[in-house]
Chain A
């Protein structure tokens, strides 16, 4: 399998649940990202990992917790979310953090009820 794969594609969770989003890239890239895409708003950068080290936490609430166990895998752990956290969560990877262009996954459509 090639590219960036995200699972699950859809997730409905209650405000007291704990769930995790998974992202896997098969491109040999060294940087991975989490983005949030909400209706009528630009893509919002959440977290950046370069060579498995977190280099950016863009003022994201602590109810979102990223994990990067190796350069191919990225997780986003979710707990006690709010309804306004409902959005499309996109994972992306790039060769490095120099701005050469992303490869995005298909996203996880998250609904918090």
Chain B
């Protein structure tokens, strides 16, 4: 069974701090996606990384795909309260059969 483990599960930080969320698997994926889910809403796609070692930036968010395409990280610089939410990674094996991670619940305090 393919699994994607995210760490940490919970993170509570002060506004302005930096943080990194990790997504790890023993399986290789053709691509990996990150979603953010706010309370009462569905997940929203943030980014897709495709190439091993790829780094993508979305304003203060930096996403990296591991060289072996088994893991990924999300780094947030100078976190803001608007970054609060559940961050989900999803491993894509090349079809719709995504493997979703267990999620990291982030709370940024003003």
Residues of A with Cβ closer than 8 Å to B? 4, 6, 31, 33, 40-43, 45, 48, 55-56, 90, 92, 94, 97-107
Contacts and interface: CB of A to CB of B under 8 A. Distances in A.
B45 A102 contact: yes
Interface residues of B, number: 26
A99 B95 contact: yes
A33 to B, nearest CB: 7
B106 interface: no
Main secondary structure on chain B at its contact with chain A?
loop
Nearest to A10: B40
Interface of B: 4, 30-31, 33, 35, 40-45, 48, 88, 90, 92-103
Given A99-B30, A99-B92, A101-B33, A45 B97 contact: yes
A97 to B, nearest CB: 4
B82 to A, nearest CB: 18
Contacts of B101: 42
B98 A99 contact: yes
Given A101-B33, A106-B41, A106-B42, A45 B95 contact: no
